[in-house]
């Protein structure tokens, strides 16, 4: 088991990854789970990539998570009679429900939800924020705007509405079809785009029905405002810095990222930092120094995982990108201040036996030279609470459930082994020592801390801790 880093790598699959051999190379280089981006590709493409991952999982006898990322609503302007127009600062532009091709004075906005939500004084962003409009007036079927930052605007460019909450479900008809397909395949995680409010999580949960874990993508200002409520309702959070960086001032993104990581750690929810982490490696075998620093900062802040998007999906150097990200993670984690920084941000424990034991193993691993922390879990809940503490030693999670093992691949420091269901704490001790040695996580003479609980199979029942030396 390659457990030499605690922060996980989530890599996106796409046309650059052509077979199971490529996927195996990425896993051996440090990838822990893979993303299927349903904004691109056909169902047959995703099914093939899913099968490749499962093939590698069987070959390596190592749980590998699979996350499906739903596209969400895509808000766009309509078409222009000449394909594009040039907007000048200070000019007027009407956005309306008329499907007639537009010109420099008006264009179709086929989204009545946007028109309904906008009010005079609000901003509209077009083409990933390259153009900016200010709403000056509103009618039932149109809004009048003034161009604040002009430029060329062509057919079907995207629209962002940072200052309004739209009465729009995050799940389009396409998303619902994709979700049904992904759940039938057997994905472990579902990433939900366009989250604006806690109710969006409730809606998605009802559709998923417990068949996968739910990860909310934070990419809207309204989601940032409701972050804690949203995080409590989902299983993990993704800091989706691409769209977030369009809808909020760019200088605010680093602070928001830190706030999200801190909140998720306090709540015990895994958090993924995503978008443009090693973007230049799409076309270059080496990253920029700024990108290296960006990844290092996410690791130092305490993120559970960092994500690669186009770098592995369609880039020229997917393997080199993963190798570079693994090097950065290990370099930060081996630094003299990494553990002390994590300890400073340690979350407040809840008054439960499970949290008391999790706090204890963190403290023990900082006092004794502990090789591994072994936890027996069925649901994964106790392993996640141990991960929340960010202990110095890696966490070996023993579980009888392959589903649980796959879902834990996103969490900081947890490496899972699927073994038969155990019935007594004594069985856990002997099995833990045997597996820790077999997985090269502990050697003879080294110390292993083992946690479990009775009654078995009941989440939150962790109530025993043993310190053992491997003989």
What's 194's DSSP letter? S
Percent of the chain's residues with pLDDT above 70:
98
**Packing angle of the helix pair 353-367, 381-388 (nearest 10 deg):** 50
Report whether pLDDT(375) > 80: yes
Which pLDDT belongs to residue 348?
Answer: 87
Least Cα distance to 287 among 333, 247, 320, 261 occurs for 320
Which pLDDT belongs to residue 350?
Answer: 87
Residue 356 in contact with residue 386, Cβ under 8 Å? no
Which pLDDT belongs to residue 466?
Answer: 92
241's enclosing H/E stretch is helix 241-247
Least Cα distance to 319 among 68, 22, 83 occurs for 22
Which pLDDT belongs to residue 453?
Answer: 73
69's enclosing H/E stretch is strand 65-69
Report whether pLDDT(457) > 70: no
Separation CA 297–CA 318 (nearest Å):
22
3-state secondary structure at position 58? helix
- Strand ranges across the sheet with 106-108: 106-108, 92-96, 142-149, 131-138, 123-126, 159-160
Residue 280 in contact with residue 294, Cβ under 8 Å? no
**Averaged pLDDT, 357-372:** 92
Q: How far is CA 210 from CA 52, 107, 189, 310, in A?
A: 24, 43, 10, 30
DSSP character string of 324-387: HHHHHHHHHHTSTTHHHHHHHTPPPPPSSHHHHHHHHHHHHHHHS-EEEEEEE-SSSHHHHHHH
**Cα angle 293, 298, 299; round to 5:** 95
**Averaged pLDDT, 141-147:** 98
Residue 391 in contact with residue 368, Cβ under 8 Å? no
Separation CA 456–CA 377 (nearest Å):
8
Which pLDDT belongs to residue 458?
Answer: 64
Separation CA 382–CA 380 (nearest Å):
6
Catalytic one among 5, 8, 24, 35? 35
Catalytic one among 12, 145, 263, 275? 275
Which pLDDT belongs to residue 406?
Answer: 98
What's 281's DSSP letter? G
Reported confidence tier of residue 456, pLDDT bands at 50, 70, 90: low
Active site residue 217: yes
Looking up tokens 């302007």 gives 77
Which pLDDT belongs to residue 257?
Answer: 98
Which pLDDT belongs to residue 422?
Answer: 77
Separation CA 383–CA 406 (nearest Å):
13
Looking up tokens 């109710």 gives 199
Q: Lowest mean pLDDT: which of 78-92, 272-286, 397-411, 424-438?
A: 424-438
CATH number of 84-160: 2.40.33.10
Least Cα distance to 382 among 446, 277, 465 occurs for 465
Q: Lowest mean pLDDT: which of 82-86, 131-135, 166-170, 350-354?
A: 350-354
Q: What is the CB neighbour count within 10 angstroms for residue 43?
A: 13
Least Cα distance to 231 among 262, 187, 253 occurs for 262
Fold observed for domain 349-470: Pyruvate Kinase; Chain: A, domain 1 (3.40.1380)
Reported confidence tier of residue 461, pLDDT bands at 50, 70, 90: low
Catalytic one among 54, 74, 76, 363? 76
Catalytic one among 5, 49, 132, 217? 217
Residue 18 in contact with residue 48, Cβ under 8 Å? no
Report whether pLDDT(347) > 90: no
Report whether pLDDT(459) > 80: no
Task: Give 272-307 pLDDT, tens digit per residue.
Answer: 999 999 999 999 999 999 999 999 999 999 999 999
| Residue environment code for 301-340, b if the CB has 16+ CB neighbours within 10 A, otherwise e | bbbbbbbbbbbbbebebbbbbbbbbbebbbebbeeeebbe
3-state secondary structure at position 449? strand
**Averaged pLDDT, 82-97:** 97
Reported confidence tier of residue 161, pLDDT bands at 50, 70, 90: very high
Q: What is the average pLDDT value for the chain, to the nearest integer?
A: 95
- Assign domain 8-72+171-334 one CATH number from 1.10.1740.10, 3.40.50.800, 1.10.1270.20, 3.20.20.60: 3.20.20.60
Which pLDDT belongs to residue 1?
Answer: 72
Separation CA 247–CA 432 (nearest Å):
48
Separation CA 303–CA 299 (nearest Å):
6
Q: How far is CA 416 from the centre of its chain?
A: 19
- All structural domains of the chain with their residue ranges: 8-72+171-334, 84-160, 349-470
Q: Lowest mean pLDDT: which of 204-208, 317-321, 335-339?
A: 335-339
Which pLDDT belongs to residue 253?
Answer: 96
**Averaged pLDDT, 240-262:** 95
Residue 322 in contact with residue 308, Cβ under 8 Å? yes
Separation CA 469–CA 449 (nearest Å):
9
Reported confidence tier of residue 83, pLDDT bands at 50, 70, 90: very high
- Within 8 A by CB and 6+ apart from 192, the residues are 70, 72, 170, 171, 200, 201, 204, 214, 215, 216, 217, 234
Looking up tokens 């420091």 gives 413
Separation CA 270–CA 235 (nearest Å):
7
């Amino acid at each position: 088991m390659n457990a030499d880093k605690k922060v996980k790598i989530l890599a996106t699959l796409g046309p650059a990854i052509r077979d199971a051999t490529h996927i195996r190379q990425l896993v051996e280089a440090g990838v822990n789970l893979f993303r299927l981006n349903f904004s691109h590709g056909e169902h047959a493409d995703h099914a093939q990539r899913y099968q490749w991952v499962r093939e590698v999982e069987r070959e390596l006898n190592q749980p590998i998570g699979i996350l499906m990322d739903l596209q969400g609503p895509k808000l766009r302007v309509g078409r222009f009679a000449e394909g594009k127009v040039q907007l000048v600062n200070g000019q007027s532009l009407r956005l309306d429900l008329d499907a007639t091709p537009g010109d420099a004075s008006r264009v179709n906005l086929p989204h009545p939800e946007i028109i309904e939500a906008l009010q005079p004084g609000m901003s509209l962003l077009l083409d990933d924020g390259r153009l900016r409009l200010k709403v000056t007036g509103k009618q039932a079927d149109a809004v009048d705007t003034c161009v604040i930052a002009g430029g060329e605007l062509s057919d079907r460019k995207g629209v962002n509405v940072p200052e309004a909450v739209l009465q729009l479900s995050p799940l389009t008809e396409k998303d619902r079809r994709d979700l049904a397909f992904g759940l039938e395949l057997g994905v472990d995680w579902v990433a939900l785009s366009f989250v604006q409010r806690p109710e969006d999580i409730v809606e998605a949960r009802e559709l998923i029905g417990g068949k996968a874990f739910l990860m909310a993508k934070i990419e809207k200002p309204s989601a940032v405002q409701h972050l804690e409520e949203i995080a409590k309702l989902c299983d993990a959070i993704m800091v989706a810095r691409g769209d977030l960086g369009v809808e909020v001032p760019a200088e605010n993104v680093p602070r928001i990222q830190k706030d999200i990581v801190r909140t998720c750690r306090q709540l015990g929810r895994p958090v993924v930092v995503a978008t443009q982490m090693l973007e230049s490696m799409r076309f270059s075998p080496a990253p920029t120094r700024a990108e290296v620093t960006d990844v290092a900062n996410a690791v130092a802040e305490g993120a559970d995982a960092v994500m690669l998007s186009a770098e592995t999906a369609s880039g020229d150097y997917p393997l080199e990108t993963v190798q570079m990200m693994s090097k950065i993670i290990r370099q930060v984690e081996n630094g003299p201040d990494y553990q002390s920084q994590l300890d400073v941000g340690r979350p407040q424990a809840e008054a439960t036996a499970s949290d008391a034991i999790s706090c204890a193993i963190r403290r023990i691993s900082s006092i004794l030279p502990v090789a591994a922390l072994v936890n027996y879990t069925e649901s994964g809940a106790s392993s996640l609470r141990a991960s929340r503490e960010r202990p110095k030693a890696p966490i070996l999670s023993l579980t009888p459930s392959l589903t649980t093992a796959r879902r834990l691949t996103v969490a900081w420091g947890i490496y899972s082994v699927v073994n038969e269901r155990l019935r007594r704490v004594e069985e856990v001790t002997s099995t833990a020592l045997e597996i820790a040695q077999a997985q090269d996580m502990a050697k003879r003479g080294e110390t292993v801390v083992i946690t479990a609980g009775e009654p078995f199979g009941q989440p939150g029942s962790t109530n025993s801790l043993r310190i053992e030396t491997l003989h």
